[in-house]
Chain A
Amino acid sequence: MAIVKLQNVTYKYPLTDTPVLSNINLDVKEGEFVAIVGPNGAGKSTLCYTLAGFIPHFFKGELEGRVEVAGVELKSSALNEWVRNVGLAFQNPFNQISGAKYTVFEEIAFGLENQGVPREEMNQRVEEALTMTGIRDLADRSPYSLSGGQQQRVALTSILVMRPKVLVLDEPTSQMDPIGTREVFAVIRRMAEDGMTVIMAEHKVEWIAEFADRVVALKDGKILLQGPPSDVLTSRLLSENGFGISRYTSAARESLKMNLWPKHLHLPITLQEAVDGFGGKK
C-alpha cells in the first residue's frame, strides 16, 4: 500500500526558470526505507522539502503534479496539518533546537505542546520516545550543551514523539563526526525496524547499503534509476554520472577486469560482500 505518492512532480523555485525537480514519479510503500542519492544540486533537498510540505507552502514557487501522503493531497492541505503526517529532520542539528526550552525533555515535548496533547500523555510519550531512541540519560541536559550527534538524536526524538506516518531525512549525518554518524544511524535503524516509513537523502553509500529497501538515484531533478541497493549502487550509470560509489564496488569492478572478482557474482556494496567475493566464497 503506497503511503506516499508523487505523480509528475515538477518544481521551480520562485523567480527561476529552470525546474529543480522534473516529472518525478515515486511511490513509497508503508514501512519502506527509501534512500535518495545524487550529486549536490540534483534536487535531493528539494525533494525532501516537497515531501515534508515546505514546498510549496513555505518556499512558494511553482509546484506542478500531485503529492499525496496517506491519501491527503499536499496542495489542498495547510502546512501545519501536513506536518502531523510527515516529520522532517535535516543536516544542521543546531538549527533544529527550538531555543525555547531549557532541557532535552522539554525540547522533545515541544511538538506535543503545539499539538495540544494533555500533560500526562505528554510525559508518557516523551519517556517512551527517549527510551526508544536511547537518549534517556540526556533528558535533563540543556540541548545546547550536547554534541552534534546528540543534538541530532534529540531532533529525531522530537519528531518521532509526534508519531508521524512518514519520516523525511535530509542528509542527517553530513555534519557529524563518525561517532555521531553511528549514533544517528542507530536511531534511524530502530525507527525503521519499528515500521516507520523513511525517506532519506544521503551520500554515505555504506550506510545506505545496510538500511535501504530501495535506492532512488536523482540527477538534475530527474530520477535516473531506482531499485534495490545492490542493483542501483553497482550500476555503471551511477559512476558515469558523478555519483559517489562505494570503494568496495569500485575495487571489485576493476578486479573483474583482471579476473580477480568472480564473474557471476554481483558487485559488492558492503564490506562483508566484498570479503565473501574476494575471499572465494560462492
Chain B
Amino acid sequence: MHERLSFYVKRDSFLHRLNPLTKLTLVFGLVFVAFFSPWYWTPQTIFLIAIIPLSFLGRVYREYFGAAFRLILPATGFLFLMQAFFQPIGTVAIFKFWFLDITAESLAFAFANASRIFVMVSSFTLLLLTTHPSDLMSDLTRRGLPSQFAYVIISTIQIIPQMQAKAQTIIAAQRSRGLDTQGSYLKRIGALVPLVGPLVFGSLVEVEERAIAIEARGFTSTRVKTSLREIPDTGLDKTIRWFFILLVIAAIAARIWL
C-alpha cells in the first residue's frame, strides 16, 4: 500500500511551523504579484528571491526541484511552445517553423505566461509539501470554511496518487487481455478507452464509499468541531499574512497606475 497519499513531507522547518492559512496567504500573495505586477521580469524574480529560498526554508528543496524538473518544467515548457506557435500576436516573423510564423511578440507573451504559471504551480507545490492536508482543513474549517468544501480540497489532493495506483492495476489487467500499450500513437490513444472507464467508475465508487465513511464519523455534524493537534497562530504568522496582503495591494495598484 502506498505510504503517502498526499505530497506532504513530514519534517521540521520554518515553513512547516507556519500556520496553514499563513502559507495559503503567502502562496496566493506570490501568485497575485506574479500575475498583476506590471514589470515583465516579476515571475523570474519571484522564483529567485522567493521560491528557491522558501524551498530551503521548508527543507523540501530536493522534493521541490524533483517535482520542478519532472513535472512543472515539462508542463509549462509545453504550454510555452503551444502559445508561442499558436498565439497570433505581432506581425514580424522572427523565424518560420513549417507553416507557422513565430514573432518576437508571441515569444515574449508565451514566455511571460509560462513563467507566471510556473510560479503559481511552484508555490502550490511548496504549500502541499509543507502542509499536512489535515491541518489545512482543520484550520480553514475553524475559521469558517464549510467542512464539505474543505473535504473537497483534501480528497482532490489525495485523488491523484490514488488514481495513479488504480490506473496501474487497470493497465496491468487490460494488458493481460492482450491490450497493446506500446504500439503506435494511434494504438495508444485507442488503448485509453478500456483504461479510462474502469478508472473513472472505480474512483467514483471509492469516493462514494469514503463519503459514507466520513459521514459515519460525524463529518457533517453541525456542532462546533475541535482539533486534536494544536495549530499555532503566532504574531509572526499574522505579520507575514499582512505583509503579503499589502504586497498584493501594491502590485494591483502598480498595475493600475503604471
Contacts and interface: CB of A to CB of B under 8 A. Distances in A.
A adjacent to B, CB under 8 Å: yes
Interface of A: 52, 54, 58, 79-81, 83-84, 87-88, 90, 92, 94-102, 105-106, 109-119, 122-123, 142, 144-147, 155, 158-159, 162
Given A106-B228, A113-B226, A144 B4 contact: yes
A80 B218 contact: yes
Interface string B1-24: 111110010100000000000000
Contacts, number: 113
A168 to B, nearest CB: 9
Contacts of B174: none
A155 B218 contact: no
B220 A79 contact: yes
Contacts of A122: 226, 228
Give the 3 A-B residue pairs with the shortest CB-CB distance, closest first. Answer: A114-B218, A95-B209, A111-B217
A27 to B, nearest CB: 23
Contact of A116 (B10, B206, B213, B223): B223
Contacts of B223: 114-116
B133 A88 contact: no
A111 B217 CA distance: 5
Nearest to B213: A96
Interface residues of B, number: 38
A114 B221 contact: yes
B133 A100 contact: yes
B217 A162 contact: yes
A80 B222 contact: yes
Contact of B226 (A52, A80, A83, A117): A117
A112 B224 CA distance: 11
B227 A144 contact: no
B168 to A, nearest CB: 15
A90 B228 contact: no
A92 B162 CA distance: 15
Residue with the highest number of chain A CB atoms closer than 10 Å, among B4, B134, B229: B134
Contacts of A102: 8, 10, 132, 134
A88 B216 contact: yes
Contact of A100 (B4, B154, B226): B154
Given A99-B155, A144-B3, A54 B212 contact: yes
Contacts of B214: 98, 100, 110
B62 interface: no
Given A88-B212, A144-B3, A155-B213, A115 B158 contact: no
Given A90-B209, A114-B217, A114-B218, A119 B226 contact: yes
Nearest to B228: A109
Given A92-B209, A113-B228, A146-B1, 18 more contacts: A58-B211, A58-B215, A80-B220, A80-B221, A88-B212, A90-B212, A96-B210, A98-B217, A99-B133, A102-B8, A110-B214, A112-B226, A116-B221, A117-B226, A118-B226, A147-B1, A159-B216, A162-B217
Nearest to B212: A54
Given A102-B132, A106-B134, A162-B217, A144 B229 contact: no
B225 A113 contact: yes
Nearest to B209: A95
A113 B231 CA distance: 14
Given A79-B215, A99-B155, A106-B229, A115 B221 contact: yes
Contacts of A52: 216
Contacts of B227: 113, 119
21 contacts: A54-B212, A79-B215, A80-B220, A81-B221, A83-B215, A88-B216, A94-B1, A95-B206, A96-B213, A99-B5, A100-B133, A100-B134, A106-B134, A109-B228, A110-B217, A111-B217, A113-B226, A115-B221, A119-B227, A144-B2, A158-B217
B219 interface: yes
Contacts of A155: 213
A116 B137 contact: no
A114 B225 contact: yes
Nearest to B161: A144
Residue with the highest number of chain A CB atoms closer than 10 Å, among B132, B138, B221: B221
B145 to A, nearest CB: 14
Contacts of B226: 112-113, 116-119, 122
Nearest to A158: B217
Given A106-B228, A144-B2, A101 B220 contact: no
A57 to B, nearest CB: 9
Interface in B102-139: 132-134, 137-138
Contacts of B216: 52, 83, 87-88, 159
Nearest to B207: A95
Given A80-B222, A122-B228, A99 B210 contact: yes
